[in-house]
Amino acid sequence: MRILVTGATGVVGTEVVAALRGAADGGAPSVTRTARRAPDASVVSWPIGERPVPAALDGPWDVIVHTAASTRWTLSREEAFTANVEPLRAVLGLADSGTHLVHVSTAYVGGVRNPEDLRGEEFEGYRNGYEWSKARCEEVARAEHRGPLTVVRPPLIVGRRGDGGIARFSGPYTLLHALASGLAAVVVGDPEGYAEISPVDEVAAAVVDAALGAPPEHPRTEVVAGGAGSLRLGELLDVTCGTLNEYRAAHGVDPLERPPIVATDSWNRFFLPLAERYLSPFQHEAVKLLAMFQSYTSMSRPFEPTRTVEDPATAMAGAVRHWADRKPRLALARPEPWTMVARGT
C-alpha cells in the first residue's frame, strides 16, 4: 500500500506518520512524506499550490492523507482560500478514482456558533477565515474527488494522552502561555460552556484507521470529540492551573492564581473599552489574541462525536505537564501583573 501524507511535519502529520510506520497488521505501508519545508532528505519539499508537483510524488497512490493547512484564525477570505482551498485542489490532482482521500478538517465546521462568535458576512456564518476555508475544502473534496473520501474533524488539539508530547506548541497552548505569564488576567466566556479538546494521538488514530481500513462506499465523516463528557471552561481552567501549580510546588515556586471568568457580554460592554484605553500596547495585543478563544472554549453545546475522547481532564493535565517540562522558565516564572496606562489622552 502506497500512502502519501501532506503536512507531514505538522502537529497532526507527525503523529500520523509515526502511527502508520508502527502499523503491524499486514506489514507497515509504504509512506511518503511531503511538507512545505523539508527538514531532511527523507521528506519531499513541496509548497503545495505554489510549485509544480515534484517527480517523487507521482502516483498512483492508494491513500492520500491530507493534513497540510494554515490554521491561523486571522486569515482574510482571500488568504484562507489561497492557503487551504487551492492546495487541496493541487493534491486532488495526484489522486485518481482508486485513491482513498483522508482529509483532515476541523470539528468547528459543524457545531453551534453563537451570534457573537461571528465576524461579518465575509465568512458566511463561520468564526474566521480558517473555518470558512475548511468548510469550502470539504465541499471541494466531495464534489471533485473521484474516489473514496473520509473527512476527519478534530477539535482543539493537545499533546498525546500518554506523555503529553506534541510536535509543536500551537492553538490552545497560546492560552496556556498567557495563563503562566499573567497576560490572561481574566478569561472571557461561560464557565459552563463546553471546551472540546482531543489528544493528538487520538486524532491520528482516527486518521490511520481510515487510511488502513476499507475505503468507504460513500463519503464518511469522523468527528473526534468529548461530546457530553467534554470539559467545561471552568473545569479546563481548574485542570490547567492546578497542574501548573503542582509543577511549581515541586520546584518550590509560589502558585499561580486562577484568573476569574468574565461573561462575554460584560467583557465586551464594560471591560474591553477600558482595556483598549488603559492597558499597555503589549497587553492590549494579548487581549485581542485571547479573544479569539472565547467561542472555542464556551460552546453552548458540545459536538456529537463518532469517536469519543474519554476523560479529557487527564489528557489536558498530561499536555500541561509536558509543556511545563519543555518550557520551565515560563512555567516557573513570576507572572507580570497587568498595568494600567492612559493611552490616547
| Residue from 263, 192, 184 nearest 234 by CA | 192
Check: pTM over 0.85? Answer yes or no.
yes
- Cell numbers 467545561 correspond to 232
If you count them, how many residues does the chain have? 345
Residue 232 CA to residue 2 CA, distance in Å, equals: 41
State pLDDT tens for residues 28-83: 789 999 999 999 999 999 999 899 999 999 989 999 999 999 998 888 999 999 99
Predicted pLDDT at 345? 47
Predicted pLDDT at 26? 57
Number of H helices, E strands in the chain: 12, 14
Q: What stretches in the chain show pLDDT beneath 70?
A: 24-27, 114-120, 276, 282-285, 288-289, 337-345
70 Cβ neighbours under 8 A, 6+ residues apart: 79, 80, 83, 84, 130
Predicted pLDDT at 264? 80
E-strand ranges in the chain read 2-6, 30-35, 43-45, 63-66, 100-104, 149-153, 156-158, 187-188, 194-195, 197-199, 220-225, 231-232, 261-262, 307-308
Q: What is the DSSP string of 51-86?
A: BPPPGGG-S--SEEEE------TT--HHHHIIIIIH
